[in-house]
Structure 1
Amino acid sequence: MSADRQAQEEEALVLESIYDQDFKINEAAPDTYHFTLRLDEEASDNLRSPRLVVIDFHIPEAYPSSTMPVYEITSVYCGTQKIDASVREEIDTNFKTMFVPGEVVLFEWINWLKEYLDATYPEEEQQQQEVQQPEDMETTNDVDDSTTSKIDSSLDDECPEIKSGESLIDRKSVFVGHVATVNSVEQVQAVRRKLLQNKKIAKATHNILAYRIELDSGVIAQDHDEDGETAAGGRLLHLLQILDVTNVVVIVSRWYGGIHLHADRFKDINNSARQVLETYGYIDDTKGKKK
């Protein structure tokens, strides 16, 4: 075993012991680590918009002797605030500065990143309140009235019409799917912006997004955003692939109800997405294909 490989394995073991389930080695690609940085620690599950950031670390063969890890921040938001270009640039500059050839650096990166993001995105007063049900959503009918009607997109010329499905409630967590026809990534972004103008949707614990667009060349452009709900975005995109729907964006809002759903939350997210796709004619319910 090379010295680099031994250093990599020892570092991974240490990080696993420190961060437990927040640090995971990709079984299909052992040189990729998936890390969830939680600024709110154990309280994050009880917050409307937990401050957390998801990072993938890709470990090159020559790390740490000569090459630093490649990292990818997959989160778009930290809490309710977007991780903008200036923040990403600051992170990149400091990561490069901290790397010293021959020395492992991931633990140092994580510690610095936690302090930096905690200062950049301070805990908001509303974040400290536990969520039992979304604000102004004491009954199922309240959820339906505020989120299942059409979202007014008249104020944004780039935004297609957005339609929302029925609420799904599982052990006090509420899930609502939203769908729109899109033909560009710009329209996907417009749909997200318009949805977040709805105060109740903006206060959702997670707004998980996935889209597929067929380009003029026939190539499918597709992507997802988990919005802090680890692995949910990829599963939502996989659903769109299975259903073979294109030129569509789906966003599923989840309001955490105080009870852990574990793996059932993925089923609820996908069921909400499928329901809104079926309701508005994007798929044939009998065949599971687009019409």
Structure 2
Amino acid sequence: MAEGDAGSDQRQNEEIEAMAAIYGEEWCVIDDCAKIFCIRISDDIDDPKWTLCLQVMLPNEYPGTAPPIYQLNAPWLKGQERADLSNSLEEIYIQNIGESILYLWVEKIRDVLIQKSQMTEPGPDVKKKTEEEDVECEDDLVLACQPENQVKTLDFDVSENRTEIEELPPIDHGIPITDRRSTFQAHLAPVVCPKQVKMVLAKLYENKKIASATHNIYAYRIYCEDKQTFLQDCEDDGETAAGGRLLHLMEILNVRNVMVVVSRWYGGILLGPDRFKHINNCARNILVEKNYTSSPEESSKALGKNKKVRKDKKRSEH
């Protein structure tokens, strides 16, 4: 496989995992080998009036030089309304050539459905669907922000003389997800400089449970207002490629000035690709809960105008 093809394939896989984490049961795999997917989009998840299914096929050249091949499926979508929506999707692609755009497409369609719902009578009856997640939570893994004895020393210095902007930010902890005795839990903190990233990591490692995790995967994105660029980086901590996938999810959601750490306690049973799904789900849940996700319009502008700066990362095998 050519190097360019390998790069596109990796970016596609990262985007697919991110979309599955963001949309859950709304996202459906039609043909994994052919990269064909379908997502059910409605104006309101709890009380849908208008629903549309977007089917996409990702060509080998996507996202570099070719758009997804797509089909819009809805019995009510006809004529000028279909043409207008197709034009909107193609305009989003042109504005963001070379970038992952499935999230932007889905949320654009959702905006159109919401506007339609506000302007018209309810559409065809749509069966309500409830989503129940079988999440096994252990009380002792829902961590409080209280310091414990430090059991792991990090290889950086955190100065005691912190300036106001370099104070330790508050740290929130997400609800754990347990699968086959492996447990995943996300931690989130607002950050505006790399020093705060180090301070958050040091603080988390003061907790015995976090310090004893098999992996502490993290990623952060800091928006530099003066240069209109993102300072961002990630770390696998032994879970190969997990940090890059986490950062890709954060890019798609266009989050800024925040870091997410996902701890994994390995339970002795290999999870395969499911481990990446759980890592992304944990991260997405806490980002949504703490209102870090932005509107599709802001995401589109950020993808089109802002450069992204990454540091080199070390990759290690599990």
**Structure 1 length as normaliser, TM-score?**
0.48
TM-score by length of 2: 0.44
